[in-house]
Structure 1
Amino acid sequence: MRQRSADPSREPGLGTPRAAGVAGIVFAVLLAAAIVLVRTALPSGDAAGDTPLDSGQRRAVTTALELVPFAGIAFLWFMGALREHTGKAEDRFVATVFLGSGLVFVAALYGSAAAAGTVLGSDRSSEFGRHYAYTLLMTYAMRMAAVFVFATSTIGRRLGVFPRPLTLLGYLVGLVLLVVGSAAPWFELVFPAWALVISLYILKAAHERT
């Protein structure tokens, strides 16, 4: 029989690195898929807002709206596993920013998805919903994602959890999400890409410790 660790304080967090890694990968894949589907089906230009959606566009939007709730759940699991992994060593100020920005991101993401769902209607409110969804996603959700990336990278640097290149990558990604905005189409894919890189690193580090 396998002997339990002599340090009981380590027992509750033994599985959290893998949980964070798996949840982060699920989040990254689902969010990236939803963004690609919505970007493809709903052009953000003003002229496109007057064009009725065809059956293919409606299916793409519907599929994206079905993916977003699960992406949000995976992201919350990712956050929780990361916080459990850092434990009492985390800085309270940075941890508060980490938690708050993550929760606001999920709320803005869900709000953006709800607004995007209005384009499935046949009235003129669909045009308003299209622009509102993009504004909520680009202006608010991605800014909160930037704060989350900054906070996560800071925690990783202070605790020595992330190597220096990964920390610098996080600061660069956060800066892009914070300042680029809607000026660069498809830039929002940078966030799930960063989450995927972080998750793969966490899984790799957890595997090397076993």
Structure 2
Amino acid sequence: MSDTNVLRVAGLSGILFLILFIPSYLTAPDSPIATSSGQEMLDYFRSRQGEILTFNGIMLIFASFFFLWFLGGLYEMARRAEDGGFGFAPVVLGGGLLFIALMLAGAVAEIAHAATQARFQNFREDEQIGFLSLAMSGWFYRFAFVGIAAMIAATSAGGLRAKLVPAWLAWVGFAVAIVALLRYFGPLGGWLFMSWMLAVSILMIIGALGRPLPAAAREVTPTGG
């Protein structure tokens, strides 16, 4: 498989991640809030059990698989664009891994009550466990955005230094990274991150991400003996 096709696979994986991730990012209208009662918490887990396990469990398994393929392509392009010099490729990789690890940890915390309720017939429903699991998942998701902010900022820095991404996308990326890191704008940071990832995925698919490899790296010319 050629480098171009591998990069297209990474871009397609990024789009598939977004398709699978968005349903889990959407907030249900009856999601518990700070003033929700214990009964409202139990009603939420009873009525949304199937959706919670599907969107925040099963679909995120496949979403994380595709994200790793996207991340691998982005890291490799960042590494090649830097051409062996000191750069930001390790931050791209580390930030992406931190994001996906903490995002999955948050999902585990969020589905803990619903998953236990679905698996064990003798489980005694406890609204306090529900409150705790949702609070924990919320902080896991906040910490996960530290990783995504680092990944986007490093990609943007590489864009300005080594032409990894177009200049306009690099500057937009810095703004997205700041919003994602602060997390004071509610779900806006997540939507901006997904928009940025969609743009990068499209650039991967059309072959417009990073600098082209030197001819010597693309093909080996045989020499006579």
TM bin, normalised by shorter chain, reads 0.7 to 0.9
By percentage of residues, which structure has more helix?
1
What letter matches 1:178 in structure 2? L
- Aligned partner of 2:161 among 158, 161, 178: 158
SS at match of 2:31: coil
- Aligned partner of 2:194 among 189, 192, 195: 192
Q: Does the 8 Å contact 1:105/1:142 carry over to 2? A: yes
Moved over 4 A (4+): none
Is 2:12 the counterpart of 1:22? yes
- Aligned partner of 1:117 among 85, 89, 111: 111
Q: What is the Cα deviation at residue 78 of structure 1?
A: 0.4
Q: Does the 8 Å contact 1:154/1:167 carry over to 2? A: yes
Q: Does the 8 Å contact 1:41/1:60 carry over to 2? A: no
Change (3 A) 1:40 1:135: same
2: CA distance, partners of 1:15 / 1:173: 28
**What is the Cα-based RMSD across aligned positions, in Å?**
2.4
Is 2:49 the counterpart of 1:94? no
Q: What is the Cα deviation at residue 92 of structure 1?
A: 4.4
CA deviations 1:170-194 (Å, max 9, x no partner) are 1111011011x1x333222322222
Change (3 A) 1:12 1:86: farther
Q: What is the Cα deviation at residue 86 of structure 1?
A: 4.1
2: CA distance, partners of 1:21 / 1:105: 18
Please, what TM-score do these two structures have when normalized by structure 2?
A: 0.76
Please, what TM-score do these two structures have when normalized by structure 1?
A: 0.81
Q: How many residues align structurally?
A: 193
Kindly name which structure, 1 or 2, has the bigger radius of gyration based on alpha carbons: 2
2: CA distance, partners of 1:117 / 1:17: 34
Is 2:75 the counterpart of 1:83? yes
- Aligned partner of 1:149 among 149, 152, 163: 152
Q: What is the Cα deviation at residue 145 of structure 1?
A: 0.8
Identity %: 25
Is 2:36 the counterpart of 1:48? yes
Runs of 5+ unmatched residues, structure 2: 118-124, 213-225
Q: What is the Cα deviation at residue 43 of structure 1?
A: 3.1
SS at match of 1:76: helix
SS at match of 2:88: helix
